[in-house]
Structure 1
Amino acid sequence: MSNSNVMTQTGSNQAPHYTVIVVGGGQAGLSISFYLKEAGIDHLVIEKHTVTHTWRSQRWDAFCLVTPNWQCALPGYPYRGDDPHGFMKKDEIIAYLDGFIEMVDAPVVDHTEVRRVRRQHDGSYVVSTSNVEFTADHVVVASGGYHTPIVPRMAERLPHGIVQLQSSHYRSPQSLPEGAVLVVGSGQSGAQIAEDLQIAGRKVYLAVGEAPRCARFYRGRDVVDWLADMGYYEMPVDQHPLREGVRDNTNHYVTGRDGGRDIDLRRFALEGMELYGRLDDLRDGVLYFAPNLTSNLESADDTYNRINASIDAFIDREGIDAPPGVPYEPVWKPEGERTSLDLAASGITSIIWCIGFTPDFSWIDAPVFNGRGYPAHVRGVTSQAGLYFIGLPWLHTWGSGRFSGIARDAAHVVDAIRAAIDVSRTASASLAA
């Protein structure tokens, strides 16, 4: 549905009403629409930009999936290409999403920002947007959990001549000015962007955080394949050793680039990348780092070896014939902890902040959030009738915020909506009788 079509419905004083309004037109919102259409439930998807906008505008040029293509399993639209164990590049991901968009054919109003959601006394919701106001019996929040880029206040004190980008705005080495680049953060984005810059011949300084890492291939197979066979991706959050705490975990760094490989920061150092610990401060043109590079590298390697050891145990338990595996041994170690770096002397002309995002659900007026502003829910169903969430990390399983698990989550949320509609109809029929 286009904006013009929606606007024509507002000629009366009564706001357009839908049984369900879905906020967000990414893969999560479109997956909800898929099941709502299948159930014959009228609904509207409201998107601030255009559908699947994030994949098109917030990924760098060399971006590719870090999980194999076979895990792309959007509802009714699994990966059907000829490289299930490969890793789609950015243009291939967009083509895959375009096919999904066409197949779902969701009723969407785009370029419309939802500014407030509030519940009325009768239990319905008012959805106020930048264009018009709607009402709905149910609201599904599918806007994800990565809203506000994290940039430390010290960034305000950097010299004006230094280009600063958040990871979602990085595109390519060629888009940056000549000179060295400081990448802050070593999660999935930071590690891959640092590699992208180093491959292009740029001098790279990397402030290493506490992100874990994992192998790409181990004992003859992709680690993802092993973990799938081990049932890891089927594990619900309430059975994970960390329980809901797993939602705060940083993703393991690895890459699907060039067919897939490990990301080993120690090897980057051998090739000329300068590694430091966590960036803590900036004073008088000097950057200061925590003396934790060694511990961060060791912690990442421990996770790497621990995952591989769990695969070893699975292979032994199941009697699987597989090539031998050996623990990772460091190929480089810091000679000491360097805790300062002079900006001018280093030749740094660009800084890329890769330290994540914070959620912003301030526009939802509902008593369902914890002290950190994160919604409390069970598989996306909140304690407030008619309000649901979808597409969040570990909403139910590891794949909840990814292409692999969104179909199951969306089906569950729509089942909950259908059940609520049935209860409401039964209650109305009883009153009428």
Structure 2
Amino acid sequence: MSNASLASQAHSDVPHRSVIIVGGGQAGLSISYYLKAAGIDHLVIEKATLAHTWRTQRWDTFCLVTPNWQCALPGHPYRGDDPHGFMKKEEIVAYLDGFVEKLGAPVLEHTEVKRVQRQPDGRYAVATSNGDWTADHVVVASGGYHTPIVPRMAERLPADISQWQSSAYRNPRSLPDGAVLVVGSGQSGAQIAEDLHLAGRKVYLAVGEAPRCARFHRGRDVVDWLADMRYYDMPVEQHPLREGVRDNTNHYVTGRDGGRDIDLRRFAQEGMELYGRLDDLRDGCLQFTPNLTANLDNADDTYNRINASIDAFIDRQRIDAPPGESYQPVWQPLRERTSLDLAASGITSVIWCIGFTPDFSWIDAPVFNGRGYPAHTRGITPQAGLYFIGLPWLHTWGSGRFSGVARDAEHVVDEIRASMTASQAAPASLAA
């Protein structure tokens, strides 16, 4: 008996679906939307509950950093009365709940996928905590932010210092009294530092290399201008950095209170303590790289460069818009401080906001590079029947966001449909 026949016999008692989607966030549900429209049987397998990340891994004052009009899940665009506002956490959850209810996807919740492996017969064996399945196609929609990054030096912090990862932070009241060290100044770090600062907490911020952008420029939201400039339609292969853009840290800005800039220099004027990158802990003192000035200057350069590109667009299109101006620093570090006495600072909490690493170790497929990132072209991997969706810059800037995931999902499902059509036609062709 052939290997394929043995595999087929072994699978005979295992439930089968044409497509299994791993992950029940907006990406996986968008795939389900197009599969349902195409009449293709499928199953969404979710480790927790649908869209649980938005419910459980966001702080209380979290809100979108892109305008509501960019929320464009398939068949479920934003229809509220504030398209240029920024939905808060509970409003985002309600928006997603509406999508879930409208979609009615076939879902298996509270089920962890343990292994995905292609079998000799071409099917995929999908082992889960709630039984085994097989599928002709597997779409990985679990995102790329799996394992929080916390440096080993965290193990050497005093036991009486409370440590949190950004996904576990909720509000200033949940932290012990005392000063807070926020490590990292990407979107999460900058917004959490602001949240604590506005609550009157003493904040020390280890500033990284994240860029920043303006909220508004020349009378409009910067996102509106960039949309008109078709930046959000640019495929990754046309970006100046090519695939390297996937490693970029997101620009920090906020939609809080109707949207505004996040200016770390202004926070410093108001009492926030800024340092460069956190490097080590020695003899009770935190050690920092002397790169605060460079990091602030580079973030401001990006801010001004984006605005200058908008200015050039306005000029080319001869648009009547209010005048703009270049950002001028409101504060400068007098010197680079490279050491901070931990006990003397009064720091009682540390919040790590330095990102996540992907973990696709449960996928047995030769499609990953040395950093554990899947090789793909617009979500289509070199291994037949295996796809990814919802990753940053999978295809465009919006691929990992509400704005662009529908386009990516439709493309992946079109590829699945083409593969199924070719597979059904193959026997007839061979017979001929």
TM-score, normalized by length of structure 2?
Answer: 0.97
State the partner residue of 1:90: 89
Matched, 1:294 2:262: no
Cα displacement (A) at 1:77: 0.1
Cα displacement (A) at 1:284: 2.1
Distance 2:347 2:105 in 1: 46
State the partner residue of 2:318: 319
Amino acid at match of 2:57: Q
1:205-252 deviation per Cα after TM superposition (whole angstroms, max 9, x unaligned): 000000000000000000000000001000000000000000000000
1:61-140 counterparts in 2 under 5 A?
A: 61-140=60-139
State the partner residue of 1:240: 239
State the partner residue of 2:348: 349
Aligned-partner SS, 2:20: strand
Amino acid at match of 2:279: D
Q: Percent identity?
A: 82
Aligned-partner SS, 2:63: coil
Distance 1:90 1:22 in 2: 25
Distance 1:106 1:271 in 2: 49
Cα displacement (A) at 1:429: 3.1
Distance 1:228 1:13 in 2: 51
State the partner residue of 2:384: 385
Distance 1:429 1:196 in 2: 64
Distance 1:136 1:262 in 2: 47
Aligned-partner SS, 1:404: coil
State the partner residue of 1:412: 411
Distance 2:325 2:92 in 1: 34
Amino acid at match of 1:301: D
Cα displacement (A) at 1:428: 2.7
Cα displacement (A) at 1:318: 0.4
Distance 1:335 1:160 in 2: 33
Distance 2:254 2:235 in 1: 25
Cα displacement (A) at 1:155: 0.1
Amino acid at match of 2:372: G
Cα displacement (A) at 1:431: 4.4
Matched, 1:399 2:412: no
Cα displacement (A) at 1:371: 1.1
Cα displacement (A) at 1:14: 1.2
Cα displacement (A) at 1:126: 0.2
1:219-368 counterparts in 2 under 5 A?
A: 219-368=218-367
Moved over 2 A (4+): 428-433
State the partner residue of 1:18: 17
1:140-171 deviation per Cα after TM superposition (whole angstroms, max 9, x unaligned): 00000000000000000000000000000000
Amino acid at match of 1:218: H
State the partner residue of 2:49: 50
1:82-109 deviation per Cα after TM superposition (whole angstroms, max 9, x unaligned): 0000000000000000000001110000
Distance 1:285 1:108 in 2: 51
State the partner residue of 1:3: none
State the partner residue of 2:7: none
State the partner residue of 1:198: 197
Matched, 1:39 2:38: yes
Distance 1:93 1:263 in 2: 22
**What 5-or-longer segments of structure 2 have no aligned partner?**
1-10
Aligned-partner SS, 1:246: helix
State the partner residue of 1:430: 429
State the partner residue of 1:376: 375
Cα root mean square deviation, aligned:
0.9
Cα displacement (A) at 1:68: 0.1
Distance 2:270 2:427 in 1: 70
State the partner residue of 1:181: 180
Matched, 1:143 2:132: no
Amino acid at match of 1:204: V
Amino acid at match of 1:21: I
Distance 2:419 2:162 in 1: 51
1:164-175 counterparts in 2 under 5 A?
A: 164-175=163-174
Kindly tell me the number of residue pairs found equivalent between the two proteins: 422
Cα displacement (A) at 1:432: 5.8
Aligned-partner SS, 2:299: helix
1:350-383 deviation per Cα after TM superposition (whole angstroms, max 9, x unaligned): 0000000000011100011111110010000011
Aligned-partner SS, 2:164: strand
Cα displacement (A) at 1:283: 1.3
Amino acid at match of 1:254: V
Aligned-partner SS, 2:211: coil
Amino acid at match of 2:388: F
Aligned-partner SS, 1:103: helix
State the partner residue of 1:163: 162
Cα displacement (A) at 1:406: 0.3
**What 5-or-longer segments of structure 1 have no aligned partner?**
1-11
1:43-102 deviation per Cα after TM superposition (whole angstroms, max 9, x unaligned): 000000000010000000000000000000000000000000000000000000000000
Amino acid at match of 2:336: E
Distance 2:413 2:239 in 1: 25
Cα displacement (A) at 1:38: 0.3
Distance 2:131 2:281 in 1: 45
